[in-house]
Amino acid sequence: MSSDLHHLDISAASAGLRGGKFSSRELVKSCLNQIQKHNSGINAFLTLNEHALEEADQADINLPLGGIPMAIKDNFLTQGLRTTASSKVLDNYIPQYDSTVVEKLKKAGAIILGKTNMDAWAHGSSTETSDYGPTLNPWNTGHLPGGSSGGSAAAVRADMCTFAIGSETAGSIRQPAAWCGITGFKPTYGRISRYGVIAMASSTDSPGPLTKTAVDASTITSLLAGKDPSDATTIPGNYQKILPKNGKKLKIGVAVEYLLPQMKDEVKKLIREAAGVLLRLGMSVEDISLMDPNYSVGVYTIVQRSEVSSNLARYDGIRYGLDRSHFGEEAKRRIMLGTYTLSSGYYDQYYQKALKVRTMIIEDFNRAFRQVDLVIGATSPGPALKVGASRNQPMFGEMEDILVEPSSIAGLTGISVPCGFVDGLPIGLQIIGPQGGEESVFRVALEYQSAVDWHLARPSLT
C-alpha cells in the first residue's frame, strides 16, 4: 500500500479506486494514520467514526464518491455519531437522523471519518471559541486556521481527509479556506439544504465543500444541490458539474473597495497578479466600485445576533442537551445583543434599519453584475493571525470576514482559491458570482487553477 494515499484529491482517489490501484480500506487507513499522527497537534477532529474501516470494506466504488474518506463539520447532524457544535451544551448529543447533506454524501458512497472542530455554535472566525480548544493552522501551529469551519479546513490541508464539509454564514467556509490554503465554496443561499444543520443565522447559513481543488468542489456541489422537501428555503434546479472553457468570454471586476487601506501591499499585489492571470486566460478585467464592505459589518452583526437569539432559545436543557449555564461567553454575548435588538422600542431602530441596508447591498451587487459577470478580491484582509488574536475581541469575526460578509448577506455564490503566500502563510482569492451563478464561478476557478499551482502546495507537518 502506498503511504501517501491521504495526499490524493477526489478525482485522483476515485480514479485509483476504480482502476484497482488501491482499496477503499487502504485509502481510509492512510487518512486515519494521518489523523493519529497529527490531530493531537492540530485538533481538527473532535469525534471519529469507529466504523470507518468497516464501511470502507463495504464501499461501492462505482458510486460517485464510492470509498472516498471525508470529514463533517460538527454542526451537521450525523445519525448515531456525536454532534456537539463544539459546545458543551451538546457534549453527549447523539442525533437520531442525518442532515440532508450527510444523507446525500452517504448515498454517494462517501466514508465519514469523523466530525471536525469549529467555533462553538459557529460563533467566530478563528475556531478559538470552541469548548474543546482551538484548532491550529497546519502551515504554522502558532497561527489560527480561521473559522468557523476551521477544523474542516485544517483537516483537508493536513491531508487527514480527501475533502470536508463546512457551513458559511458570513465567510465561515471561504475565510478558513483562505487561511489554510485550500479551496472553499459557498453556494447561492438555498442551493444546498440546511435541514439537519444546527442553525446559526437561518437567513444566511449555507452548507458547502472544502476541497483540495476547484474541480473537487464542483463535484461535491453537483451531488448536494437541489430542492429539499425538508427545507422550504431550498431552490429548485440541480447544479451540474461543468468544465472550463465553456461559454462566452467573461467580464471580471476587481472590487477596488475590497483592497482595504490597512491591507498589506503584498496581499494587494497577489490579487492584481491573479487578475493578470485571468486576463491572460482570455477574460476581460476591469476595476469596479462596490459599497464599502464596512457597511456589511453593522448589518451582519445585528441580523446575525437577532437570529442567534431565536435559534439558541431551543437549547434550554429540557428537550435535549445540558442547561444554558453551559453556554460559552461568545454565545451569551450574541444572545443578549440579539434579544436587545429585537426588543420593543429597538426593533425599528436597529433590526429594521439593518434589513434596509441589507437590501441596498443586494441592489449594489445587482448593479455591479449588470456591468461584469463576476467580482474578484481578497478573501481575507491578510494571512492567518496568531493564536490568541481573537481573545477579548468581540468583533474579531466581523472584521476578519469583512470581505466575504457582503456576498454572504446578499445570498450570493462565491469561492476562495489559493493565490500565493505572505509571510509564509496562504492568501485566498475570492471569486463572487450572482445568485445562481455557480457555473461561471467554477469556470473561472477551474481555469485559474489550470494556470497556477498554488493549490498544490502543502505544509510540512511535524
pLDDT in tens, 333-384: 999 989 988 887 778 888 999 999 999 999 999 999 999 999 999 999 999 9
3-class SS of residue 425: strand
Spacing of C-alpha 426 from chain mean position: 16
CB 129 within 8 A of CB 387: no
CA distances from 118 to 31, 94, 146, 187, 393 (A): 20, 18, 9, 20, 18
- What's the mean pLDDT in 129-134? 98
Phi and psi based region of residue 303 (left: phi greater than 0; alpha: psi -120 to 50; beta: remaining):
alpha
- What's the mean pLDDT in 103-117? 98
**Residues sharing a CB contact under 8 Å with residue 384, sequence separation 6 or more, in sequence order:** 137, 139, 140, 143, 144, 145, 146, 179, 180, 425, 426
pLDDT of 22 reads 98
- What's the mean pLDDT in 407-436? 98
Q: Is the pLDDT of residue 205 over 60?
A: yes
Whole-number Å distance between alpha carbons of 353 and 349: 6
pLDDT of 245 reads 57
- What's the mean pLDDT in 201-230? 97
pLDDT of 343 reads 84
- The residues carrying an active-site annotation are 73, 148, 172
* Strands across the sheet containing 183-186: 45-48, 111-116, 69-73, 163-168, 206-211, 183-186, 413-422, 425-433, 374-378, 251-255, 284-288
Pair type for strands 374-378 and 251-255? parallel
Q: Which residue intervals of 173-293 are DSSP H helices?
A: 174-180, 214-224, 265-280
Pull the grid cell for residue 451. Answer: 494556470
pLDDT in tens, 148-179: 999 999 999 999 999 999 999 999 999 999 99
Which residue in this structure is represented by grid cell 465543500? 209
Which residue in this structure is represented by grid cell 480500506? 25
pLDDT > 70 fraction of the chain, expressed in percent and rounded? 98
The mean pLDDT value of the chain amounts to: 95
Which residue in this structure is represented by grid cell 442567534? 308
Pull the grid cell for residue 338. Answer: 440579539
Q: Is the pLDDT of residue 237 over 60?
A: yes
pTM, to two decimals = 0.96
Which residue in this structure is represented by grid cell 490531530? 39
Domains and CATH numbers, the chain: 5-456 (3.90.1300.10)
Q: Is the pLDDT of residue 243 over 70?
A: no
Of 47, 23, 24, the C-alpha closest to 35 is: 47
Q: Is the pLDDT of residue 67 over 70?
A: yes
CB 378 within 8 A of CB 392: no
- What's the mean pLDDT in 243-265? 87
pLDDT of 316 reads 87
pLDDT of 346 reads 79
pLDDT of 318 reads 87
Q: Is the pLDDT of residue 240 over 90?
A: no
Q: Is the pLDDT of residue 396 over 60?
A: yes
78 vs 396: which has the higher pLDDT:
78
